[in-house]
Amino acid sequence: MLSKVYLGDVSPGRCLAGTFNSLIAILNEVTLPPALNHMQSDSFEHRRRKLTEASLSALNMSTSRVSGQAFFNTLVEQMAKALEVEFVIAGKVAKDNGKDVIQTIAVWAGNALADNISYPLEGTPCENVSCQEMCFHPKGIQQDYPDDRLLVEMGAESYIGMPMISTAGLTLGILVALDTRPMTELTHYHALSLLSIFASRCSAELEHQQRNEQLTKLVEQRTEELMQAHQQLKAQQHLASLGATVAGVSHQINTPIGVSVTAISYMQEQFRELLNGLDRPDMDPEQFKQVLTGLSNACDDLARNVHRSVEIIEHFKQLAMDEETGESRVLQLKKHLEVIVDTQLYRLQELGLSYDIDCPADVKIKTRASLLNHIFTNLLANTCTHGFKQVSPDGHIKIKVWREGKRLAIRYLDNGQGVSPEQLPHLFEPFYTTERNQGRLGLGLNIVFNAVSKLKGQIQANRRQGLEFLIYLPLSGATDS
């Protein structure tokens, strides 16, 4: 590294290689040019120090309370004013199609901030700076770098630049000052002092930004992974809910099908007896009448249970269609609630639970049926899973619907074991469950909350004799028949 720099050397520009830890020491050993030896060197040194101190104070004051982009914008503006130069550029080293480029962070041009640009390093004085060299050209910068068209466009005559070096010794960017006039000795030395100090500050700011960007990307990545996991678990919960509905339908349909099979077997036996009796002339008319009556009753049972089977299948098909389309349609609310409960009836019967739906028969609502299905399927599942741990003949579920101002209110209440005051605020949180050791996901009531929110409604939970849910849906979606 050169130990002395003649700042008055106005021959073609020079670049000093090496690190900058000892830059201030080098600058303090600067020897005035021979042409100034007869002048009052003490006076020149005094002016230089005073100018540097004043500029440092002003720059520190203007940049100390800003960070990020505001820091770079303020720095280039105040640096240009302190050095009385036309341009100051702060840029970071980047890659574009495999080539090294400078992506400017802030550019001061004339009397205002200019738009940021990207330009190639090859064949420019900034290429030397990016190689961790201190470059200064008091004049003739365009002649020294004839291939740099940007210098021509700027009308640059002089140039001085410093690299921004990371704590790991890597070049992060550059900080340069350019002017349309040759640089004076005083400006030259003054610029070296300021650029060397604030290039280090720029490096720290860039490293801070890089750490923040890396942290932000990491947070976004983890958030995306959690969202995907959440969606997968919700999908599993939906599948589990669908599986429970299918199981309920299978269980429900077993009874009418079983009765129908029994009725058909009975009818076959009675028909055979009837046919055999017709061949006997001594058949008692009263006995014949009894056979016909039995056949009639069996036909009634068969018709009733076949109709019930069809009804169960239709309920399941409707819920499946709602889930597939997700479209809004007009629902007769009481009937639709009965359909939902009907698909879960086997779970209520296993626990000995009764239910009651108190809803005006004429209330209709245009809504997304699939979301309404999610709400009540999961509320019923929550009651059966957590509200009642064993068969409870006195267990009861009450669903009541009424109008309240400009909204439709739905009250779901069971008289099960309820929840503690500590548990109540967390019921709608995702993955909150008191039975994780039993394989519960804790998503049922979160799905209820999200479904109500998608319907632009509100839901709240209250501790009563059991557990109460109050659901409010916009009245604009409800109509009378």
- Residues 62, 76: contact at Cβ < 8 Å? no
Identify which has the larger pLDDT, 320 or 60: 60
What's the mean per-residue pLDDT of the chain? 79
- Residues 433, 440: contact at Cβ < 8 Å? yes
Burial category of 45 from C-beta neighbours within 10 Å (exposed 0-12, middle 13-18, buried 19 and up): middle
Which tens digit of pLDDT belongs to each residue from 408-449? 999 999 999 888 999 888 888 877 777 766 656 677 888 889
Query: What predicted TM-score, i.e. pTM, was given to this entire model?
Result: 0.46
Q: How far apart are the first and last CA of the chain?
A: 93
Q: For the CA atoms of the chain, what is the radius of gyration?
A: 42
**Would you say residue 395 has pLDDT above 70?**
yes
Tokens representing 220 are 């976004």
**Residue 313 binned pLDDT confidence (cut-offs 50, 70, 90):** confident
**Three-state DSSP class for 118?**
strand
**Would you say residue 480 has pLDDT above 60?**
no
- Residues 349, 393: contact at Cβ < 8 Å? no
Q: Which residues are CB-contacts of 101 (< 8 A; sequence separation ≥ 6)?
A: 93, 94, 95, 118, 119, 120, 121
**DSSP annotation string for 170-229:** -EEEEEEEEESSPPPHHHHHHHHHHHHHHHHHHHHHHHHHHHHHHHHHHHHHHHHHHHHH
Identify which has the larger pLDDT, 354 or 293: 354
Tell me how far apart the alpha carbons of residues 59 and 63 are, in angstroms, rounded to a whole number. 6
Angle formed at CA 178 by CA 177 and CA 179, multiple of 5 degrees: 135
**Three-state DSSP class for 322?**
helix
**Residue 6 binned pLDDT confidence (cut-offs 50, 70, 90):** very low
- Residue type (1 letter), 158: S
**DSSP annotation string for 35-80:** GGTTS-HHHHHHHHHHHHHHHHHHHHHHHTT--HHHHHHHHHHHHH
**Would you say residue 309 has pLDDT above 70?**
yes
Average the pLDDT over 237-253 and give the result.
63
